[in-house]
Amino acid sequence: MKRIVDFSQFAPMFRCPLCGSSMDANSGRSLICTERGHTFDRSRHGYVNFLTKPVKTGYDAVLFEARSRLIGECQFFEPLHHAIANLISYPKSGQEAFTILDSGCGEGSHLNALCGFDYAGRTATGAGIDLSKDGIVKASRTFKDQMWAVADVARAPFHDRQFDVVLSIFSPSNYAEFHRLLKDDGMLIKVVPRKDYLIELRQFLYTDSPRRTYSNMAAVERFTANVEHSHHVRLRYVKTLDRQAIHWLLQMTPLAWSAPEDRVRLLKEMKSADITVDVDILIGMK
Ligand SMILES: [Zn+2]
């Protein structure tokens, strides 16, 4: 049976990204702002597009398909999801459900996985936004329990203090907006790669290039400069990928796009490969 998330539940959270006024859900087919009549239609898959013109992100449907398969079928990020779910704190009293915003959600697999955990009897209600329409189309076709929108995090289409948790997983951050969107006791969780993230790929693909090494120092410094009460947790694990999964990984990581073709070809011929995931999970309380 085809399900679509109960849109009316989310309608009061929205504000017009153009003029900042509240929005009416107009029987679920579109959102209309109450002040100026700016209108944003819902697609038949249920997402809303808040961009007035499309943005080229460099991330296309092929990438999102590969990422979806690697996360969904290979469980590539399962340990990461468990770690984040364990870190999430949510209001201990009050409403049954708490709210998570995934900023830069791509094709939605991270948010959907995180909304699937049992939080001591509480459920998480998820909203995902991304600049990439391809990502949001895929998310809204695949996951029917969350709310998806094509939107710019710099002009997020939500009122102030709507979310208990804001996630930013391998995605750019806008700290002023994150601060505005979080409830007063809200929590920001940002995931950035560490030096050993996909290290096998780096070292195999680049025999002599600065891309062989990586440091997240600048990203971590920006986080601590912008977020009060922060701490971080390191997570490192290794997954063995089969040939199909290696192909998906190569399709989804920008690391492979500009690599020498002969190295990419060699990697594609491998039957399996051990791949390291090494990340910092940065946590900030408002
Ligand atoms: Zn408006």
| 74 labelled ligand-binding | no
115 is in an annotated binding site: no
R_g of the chain computed on alpha carbons: 19
Could you tell me the pLDDT band of residue 10, with boundaries at 50, 70 and 90? Answer: confident
In angstroms, what is the span from residue 37 Cα to ligand 1's centroid? Answer: 6
In CATH, the number for domain 51-285 is 3.40.50.150
Q: Which of 201, 267, 204, 195 is nearest to 236 (CA)?
A: 195
Q: Do residues 205 and 255 lie in contact, with contact meaning Cβ atoms separated by under 8 Å? A: yes
Q: Does 227 have pLDDT greater than 70?
A: yes
Q: 31 C-alpha to center of ligand 1: Å?
A: 10
DSSP H or E run through 44: none
Is the distance from CB of 44 to CB of 30 less than 8 angstroms? no
77 annotated to a ligand binding site: yes
| CB-CB contact of 220 with 194 (8 Å) | no
Please give the distance, rounded to the nearest whole angstrom, from the Cα atom of residue 131 to the centre of ligand 1.
Answer: 19
The answer to whether 19 is annotated as binding is yes
Under 8 Å CB-to-CB from 279, ≥6 apart: which residues?
80, 191, 192, 193, 194, 197, 234, 235, 236
d(CA 22, CA 159): 8
Q: Where are the domains of the chain?
A: 51-285
Contact 33, 52 (CB under 8 A): no
Per-residue model confidence (pLDDT) at position 232: 93
119 is in an annotated binding site: no
Q: Compute the distance from residue 147 Cα to the ligand 1 centre, in Å.
A: 20
Residue 105 annotated in ligand binding? no
CA of 22 to the centre of ligand 1 (A): 8
* 110 is an annotated ligand-binding site residue: no
Residue 6 has pLDDT above 70, yes or no: no
Strand runs labelled E in the chain: 23-24, 30-33, 39-41, 48-49, 97-103, 123-130, 147-150, 163-169, 182-193, 230-242, 272-285
Tens digits of per-residue pLDDT, 154-165? 999 999 999 999
Say how far apart CA 222 and CA 224 lie, in whole Å: 6
Q: What pLDDT is attached to residue 27?
A: 72
pLDDT, one tens digit per residue, over 55-104 is 887 788 899 999 999 999 999 999 999 999 999 977 666 667 899 999 99
Helix H or strand E segment including 20:
none
CA of 244 to the centre of ligand 1 (A): 46
Residue whose structure tokens are 């009122």: 159
Residue 107 is labelled as binding a ligand: yes
